[in-house]
Structure 1
Amino acid sequence: MVAIAALAVGTQASALAATDQEPRPRNLAAGLGYSWSQAPDAAYPDDGRELTDGHYGSLDRNDPAWVGHTKGETREVVIDLGSRKSVSRIDAHFLQDWPASSILVPLTVSMYVSQDSKSWALLAHKSTQLLWGDGPPRDETYFWDGVVDGFPDRNDEGTMAYARYVKVMFSVHTRASQLLDEVEVLGFDGRTKQAATPRPDHTAYLTPGTSTAGISDLALLYNGHYESGKGNWTKDRIIPYLEYVDTAGRPVEQLFDGVLYLGLRTPEGRDFGSGSTTLSDWMWYLNKTFAAQGDLEQLNEAAGQVANDLGKPGLRTKVVLMIPDPGESLTDFGDVDGDGVTEDVNESSVGREQAVANREKIVRWWIDTVETRWANAGYTHLKLSGLYWLSEQISVSASGPETLRRVSAAAHDNGHKLFWIPHFLAYKSYMWSDVGIDAAAFQPNYFFEDMSAERIEDASAIAKRYGMGVEVEFDERMLTDDVFRDRYITYLNGGVKYGYMKSAFLAYYQGNDAVLQAANSSDPRQRVLYDWLHEFVRGTYRPQSTG
């Protein structure tokens, strides 16, 4: 009898414990079908249930569980849960096998939910933590977790997303495949107390305005060291950028309303954007740029001439100047504050906190020096409108975002907007505004590689998704090579087709002086490239044929 009584008590206690346990989320996507924005590669096919069948692939690309995509636009997979449910977590699992099998995990995976599969609410952009690199096969799971990540707008209460549709998007590399095997959507049927309906996103380009310091069209003029001397700008070389001149050399109207001076190389070949330059290199660039007859004085004289030509004596050209990247490796940058101690930006040497503080000290010294020299020069036809972060991606180190927040704060403390132009595969480019950058233009990078014109569409969509402007890219090769001429035209045509010609803040990469060469050319086929650019800046360009 005692044993039976004890058993009864134990059974009752177990029942109470089971009643008190929190219900566990289930995989709401298990066994469901889904739709792809673009069919997977034939080498890594999908039977329509591969991502939801619960079968994870081994670290072998030949495992049939893997579904693959190569080249082309950003991929989207949409899962219809059948009805609105409470989503607590989304997982997407990918393979990396580089370089042996040319497989990389995506740079970025984005997760969205929707009530109608038309209006989508962002849950998270997630960057790879595994990072790209050589090694044996590895895997990575990208996830959104409502408790950990919450909602991007921070205005919705709740830790679950109440929605019917789930979308997972991931970037595709131009020279590697992306393989995934499972997408899990964890949560509960119906609506729980913790579930909220996220607000749909309104995607749009960054438009010219306060955040761009009023600049609509920013011309990049490279004034670092070149053996040819093309980094040394003169008044006459600059004028065709500031005003459109006709075939007789007569001024017609303003062209670019902003100029970005930036240097890539020192005379010794060190790169200002890689964190390898030291104080002496930075001083060389300052001395060159601010010399009595240096690059800024030449720009000032050109701007004065343009103001006179156009009958606008009060016109001042807006100028953006670069901030070189102090990097994360140097232990002996140089002494910027005269305390007798060289600045050390290496975390393994001085620790993360001190390294970040030293990077900030260097940047603040740079900004103060730029402002002092600018004030002393007294440029009457120029306006210092902003500063430009030269590195084209956020550092992959843990301190990368914090360093950029310090840089942004330094720029803002001195009353300047901070500009940025990340490349297409830039790490964490989506978080540009989170780290304090004011104006960003996204690089399609279509001009530089053999790829489908889909890249322009994809880059335009990414720019809108991230709220950026767009960089129009070309160089001197367009003048003599039909392949590059067509790529240039594709950028201009894309501006009309995808709306960035009239609706976005634009930056213009032109190699060194492609615009100047086109403007001065007596060959009508070259000269028309300058004329089309003028029409594009005005917003009147009409698409041209290629091929």
Structure 2
Amino acid sequence: MPRPKHLCVLPCGGLLPEHFAPWTSSDLAPYVHYVPEELSGSHAFKPLFDGFIFNGIGSRPGRFMYPMYAAFGAAADQSDWLLWIDSLFAPGCNLDALNSLADRPLNVWVSIPYPQMLYTNFGKLNGRELHFMSAKDRYEAVEWWIDQFLERWNQVGNDFGNLGLRGFLWQRESIDKHDEPLVKMTNRFIASEGYHSLWLPQYGAYGAVKFSMLGFNDAAIHANYYGNAGMGVEWINHAAIMARSCGAGFQIICGKGILYNDTHFLDYLNLGLPEKNGYASSHLLVYQFPNQRLGDLSKKQPEDYERLYAFISGAYCKTSYPGIDY
């Protein structure tokens, strides 16, 4: 498959019970194709994203695989890691739902559950209880999970005619000295299986500038710019410089909630144009839509949905707004 350029993160699970609803074909339709409201019900849809990252936050309420949520519940154990695989392959949703919409080749990435350090109750492998205080046990659990996922993929992958498994996402957004050996071993194993590894680090995160030395095939930088969090648009500029200097891609954020103002999405689009930071033509762009789904955005803010399509298709022009200073 060709190397993906525009990937979209699909969060699976979260802090609230309703976050655990699986992705259905109706949920995914406005991600796979540009479906403006006036064309709803017709077949005049145009391609939108060409790759999707299924990012497992948790497979059941109160149990989290995603490290940023560790303080809000219990660490996911072996059964949760297996439930994550079950949910990905559940009939009529997630991978199966995406496949039902795929009228062209689409790339798929899947997040690896993060082995929380100091967790001592993961479960047994090969008759032995794993304790994540041990670096060896952490790696053993990760390799086992990848094997389990690939076994399922190999059983049903031929049924997913236009879906291609591109590789795996490392979830933690900073890689410190405790995780670095684990990450390198994991990425070597992924490569040995014929797949790629992807990382989505925060701007300035430990290890981000040396992502390729850690064995990642691709990385995309998150600028930490939200609009209402005290950081100005210069964070986009600085993060874009960092991404360019280390050969990484970039993340485009369109969020909803107290952290996000009404113009942050426009800032990401405007500052990606060739006359600004130029990441609109970067080798890899990853899009996140925190606290909302594109179906809602397309109905409530159709102009932003149209701008998203224009940006992906290369037709976007700068959008001004009151108070813009660049």
For Structure 1 versus Structure 2, the TM-score category normalised by the shorter chain is 0.7 to 0.9
Deviations 1:253-299 (CA, angstroms, capped at 9, x unpaired): 21100000012134342331227321121122112221223311111
Is residue 257 from structure 1 mapped to residue 50 from structure 2 by the alignment? yes
C-alpha distance in 1, partners of 2:8/2:259?
Answer: 24
- Residue aligning to 2:18: 228
Q: Secondary structure at the match of 1:383?
A: strand
Question: Retained in 2: the 8 A contact 1:223–1:295?
Answer: no
| TM-score in terms of structure 2 length | 0.88
Q: Secondary structure at the match of 1:484?
A: coil
- Residue aligning to 2:117: 328
Deviations 1:194-248 (CA, angstroms, capped at 9, x unpaired): xxxxxxxxxxxxxxxx9xx611000011122542246411101101111112322
- Residue aligning to 1:269: 62
Q: What letter is aligned with 1:545?
A: S
Q: Which runs of 5+ in 1 are unaligned?
A: 1-209, 308-314, 347-354
Deviations 1:316-342 (CA, angstroms, capped at 9, x unpaired): 211001111113212232123xx2111
Alignment of 1:37-56 (within 5 A): none
Deviations 1:479-536 (CA, angstroms, capped at 9, x unpaired): xx996221110000011021000134100010144322122x1x5xx10100000010
Alignment of 1:499-514 (within 5 A): 499-514=278-293
Identical residues among aligned pairs (%): 27
User: In the TM superposition, what is the alpha-carbon distance from 1:434 to its structure 2 partner?
Assistant: 0.7
C-alpha distance in 2, partners of 1:231/1:268?
Answer: 11
Question: Retained in 1: the 8 A contact 2:108–2:166?
Answer: yes
Q: Secondary structure at the match of 2:242?
A: helix
Tell me whether 225-234 or 386-395 shows the greater mean CA deviation. Answer: 225-234
Q: What letter is aligned with 1:291?
A: A
Question: Retained in 1: the 8 A contact 2:13–2:19?
Answer: no
- Residue aligning to 1:53: none
C-alpha distance in 1, partners of 2:48/2:93?
Answer: 23
Is residue 238 from structure 1 mapped to residue 3 from structure 2 by the alignment? no
Is residue 485 from structure 1 mapped to residue 262 from structure 2 by the alignment? yes
Alignment of 1:80-479 (within 5 A): 214-225=3-14, 226-229=16-19, 231-246=21-36, 247-249=38-40, 250=42, 251-274=44-67, 276-303=75-102, 307=103, 315-336=104-125, 339-346=126-133, 355-377=134-156, 378-395=159-176, 398-447=177-226, 449-477=229-257
C-alpha distance in 2, partners of 1:232/1:482?
Answer: 25
C-alpha distance in 1, partners of 2:108/2:10?
Answer: 11
Q: What letter is aligned with 2:236?
A: I
Question: Retained in 2: the 8 A contact 1:236–1:302?
Answer: no
**Could you say if the C-alpha distance between residues 455 and 326 of structure 1 is closer, same or farther in structure 2, counting changes exceeding 3 Å?**
same
C-alpha distance in 2, partners of 1:260/1:488?
Answer: 20
Question: Retained in 1: the 8 A contact 2:121–2:131?
Answer: yes
Structure with higher helix content: 2
- Residue aligning to 1:108: none
Spell out structure 1 runs of 4+ moving beyond 6 A. Answer: none
Tell me the number of residue pairs that the alignment of Structure 1 and Structure 2 aligns.
Answer: 307
Q: What letter is aligned with 1:463?
A: A
Is residue 531 from structure 1 mapped to residue 306 from structure 2 by the alignment? yes
C-alpha distance in 2, partners of 1:379/1:245?
Answer: 23
C-alpha distance in 1, partners of 2:114/2:96?
Answer: 25
C-alpha distance in 2, partners of 1:483/1:399?
Answer: 33
Deviations 1:7-50 (CA, angstroms, capped at 9, x unpaired): xxxxxxxxxxxxxxxxxxxxxxxxxxxxxxxxxxxxxxxxxxxx
Question: Retained in 1: the 8 A contact 2:249–2:284?
Answer: yes
Question: Retained in 2: the 8 A contact 1:224–1:285?
Answer: no
Question: Retained in 2: the 8 A contact 1:475–1:513?
Answer: yes
Question: Retained in 2: the 8 A contact 1:532–1:541?
Answer: yes
Question: Retained in 2: the 8 A contact 1:475–1:514?
Answer: no
C-alpha distance in 2, partners of 1:490/1:229?
Answer: 28
C-alpha distance in 2, partners of 1:272/1:419?
Answer: 17
C-alpha distance in 2, partners of 1:541/1:499?
Answer: 12
| TM-score in terms of structure 1 length | 0.53
Q: What letter is aligned with 2:128?
A: V
C-alpha distance in 2, partners of 1:320/1:221?
Answer: 10
Q: What letter is aligned with 1:227?
A: P
Question: Retained in 2: the 8 A contact 1:476–1:514?
Answer: no
C-alpha distance in 1, partners of 2:150/2:174?
Answer: 26
Structure number with greater CO (CA < 8 Å, separation at least 6) is 2
Q: What letter is aligned with 1:342?
A: E
Q: Which runs of 5+ in 2 are unaligned?
A: none
Question: Retained in 1: the 8 A contact 2:226–2:260?
Answer: no
Q: Secondary structure at the match of 2:45?
A: strand
Question: Retained in 2: the 8 A contact 1:386–1:417?
Answer: yes
Tell me whether 407-416 or 443-452 shows the greater mean CA deviation. Answer: 443-452
C-alpha distance in 2, partners of 1:429/1:269?
Answer: 30
Q: What letter is aligned with 1:343?
A: L
